[in-house]
Structure 1
Amino acid sequence: MGKRILFKKIKVLNYLLSIFMASSMIFPSFSYAISGTINFTGIDEYETGPVITDGQAGDVAASDIPGIDIDIFGSNDKINPIGKFIYLDFQNVITPSDVPTYTYNYIVIKSRDGSNFSFNSAYINNCNMMEDAVYVEGIRDGYPQGTVNLTLDDGGMPSQFDRLNGLTESIFQNVDQVIISSNTPGATDVTAGIGAIQIADPVMSTVALTADTTSNSVDNDLEITFAPDATFESEITGVSYNGNALTASQYTVSSGKVTLKPSVSGNTYLRTPGTANVVISASGYGNSTVSQTIQAGTVETLEVTTQPVPGALSGGAFATQPVVKLKDQYGNYCTTGVSSTANVVATAKSGTGSWSIGGTTTKSAVAGTATFSNLTCTLTTSGNGKVTFTSGIKTIDSSVFTIPQNSAKVLTADNIKQRGQ
């Protein structure tokens, strides 16, 4: 029966660099100082005992990996250490209790305490000297990150596999174990030598996000989408917009989507039109970011920012033409969104007097502002009146003004003497 082989890389006493990242709801904290290569330099490095500790053979401090303990599981019934390689059969390998169970044989390189690392490079030697390949799979928190199929040199020479040759960066840059298996389930005749195993600090992967560009206003939920990923979704710890952390009730997570909810009480930053970054934080991932534009909502109220002032005479143009601005339910001016070009209609409203309005009474807003230019005011009966402005079903009246009078008629006396006088 095979036995568990444990290679422990201890911390270098006079060298330990800790990198501290700011800890908050949006930026989780990590502390890493991992960088080095695992080499096997002699028969003493690979004793028959179950535990191998640093310093038993020719390793030097420069090859140690500070800050992390690496375990390697494999069989020992065909041990044949040569040079800087260990040779492990894919038959009779031990199945550790904390790694997935497969129907084929494999060996595992993993961190002892579950710390993440980047699997950068390794030499793999084909001992059979025939056309063989191996599968290499990255695992994080029990979830597969992906698998690559590596073809080994059939001449018995070691092949170097790294990020530029076989070890896909997105799969292996942030893992807590690597599984190397025969490329055929159940195969027992594949033997591989492994050496120069390079690991380093994990590189936190990010997820490509897509902003909401459909009905993306303060009136609607905003859907930030991405490729469905159950692992990423389950690890989401926080969401922010424009640097403001959302509470748990202000967003939801579902398959391939994070939904932001402006309607939830207190969510003022999602109720303000503008463009800012949405940042999604997830354990084991870097911060995923997308620029999201939020537009103003539909018109809810109107505001007369320039009051109409009639001219001196009935029938003339208003001396001061009115200006009306549109606002959404949160009091934002409708400078963007569907109401930014809404029509505003001006109609005459009687007060103590009556009048009629002329000129161009329907005006399309520009960036939420309707500016009238040629309205006229014609007296019907003396008194005062107003202008009513309407957009959709929303209305507002102007201030009261006095309706101008008709111009006085000029009378000419008849000074021709009547006949007979």
Structure 2
Amino acid sequence: MSDDQDSAEPQTLPLDAWHRAQGARMVPFAGYWMPIQYEGIVAEHEWTRTHAGLFDVSHMGQLLVSGEGAAEALEALLPGDILSLKPGRIRYSLLLDENGGILDDLMVTNVTPEGGTPTYYVVVNGATKWDDIAHLREHLPDEITLTHLEDQALLAVQGPEAANALRRVFRDAMGDLKFMQGTSFHFGEIKLGIGRSGYTGEDGFELSIPAEHAETIAGRLCAEIEIKPIGLGARDSLRLEAGLPLYGHDLSPETDPVSAGLGFAIGKRRRTEGGFPGAERILGLIESGTETKRVGLTLEGRLPAREGALVYAGHEEVGRVTSGGFAPTLGHPIAMAYVARAHAAEGTELEIEVRGKRLPARVAQMPFVPHRYYRGN
């Protein structure tokens, strides 16, 4: 835990003045002043679903893990198959504690230069980055170098028109990336890293930019007719519709990857070989099933169920909501919850207690809104 996290005043992002100039309403989040909205959450949500939104996610931690044996060192801490990750490929994974609890969820990109030292670019959540860095420093072997890219900003451009807008700005420099592929290129004198990924369920990209050039790039992108700046509020409603868990809400050290529905993050080879924290427990849960399961819930009317609301089957308390809100795309509230396995089947009728009232809810398939990732023609 860093000293700045203990101080009362949030830090500012490289684009702080730029956000304020765009009319952003700023709020403290994960130790930083962050834009929650510009013209309104629903309008920004709908713009991203139909055009493209620019999200400032510079609060997240950008790390490099490098050295001979870097993949093996990461596999000792993550359940993903890092050894088979080819240069230019991205993989979602989890940082686990010794009991298999989730310390963070993260993205790993193999950025090893041709013929160079094995190097992996890791993006971790903003609220946990200092703990993650401490954990990695403690557990990575001495011969592996961990570098915190503190002078890099991170921008996400998300939405169905993101690719066309970025191609117009960067021309052919970024190549024809597919979902979960990345590269780096120069835009004039500015070196950018880019990955085709994001956390809205839409097609999109994440751009790692030297902080000193963040305002130049943000302004250039928002000069395109398709792209508007979008705040945290719409980012949350978009990821909720996409059925994507948020660390600190839907994921925590008390949750395991199997209950959370993240079994896909445990590589096939890793299931056979183990060798990651909590492997024995997690592989046992894959075999036997878990007591609870993360599910989607749909509600009627307009009143949303928020985090912490209790879920009932008749008089029996069977779960708890971890994320909830109104879904602008669907026109009704939705939620994620951990519920007892016996009540987790799609279509199960349940109730959620909101403001002393029981609201009818139904277990629904996630994502609530289909993903539109670009995987190639």
Question: Is the shorter-chain TM-score for this pair beyond 0.5, marking a shared fold?
Answer: no
> Would you tell me which structure has more helix in proportion to its own residues?
2
Instruction: State TM-score, norm by structure 1.
Output: 0.22
Higher relative contact order (CA 8 A, sep 6+): 2
> Would you tell me which structure has more strand in proportion to its own residues?
1
Instruction: State TM-score, norm by structure 2.
Output: 0.23
User: Which structure would you say has the larger Rg?
Assistant: 1
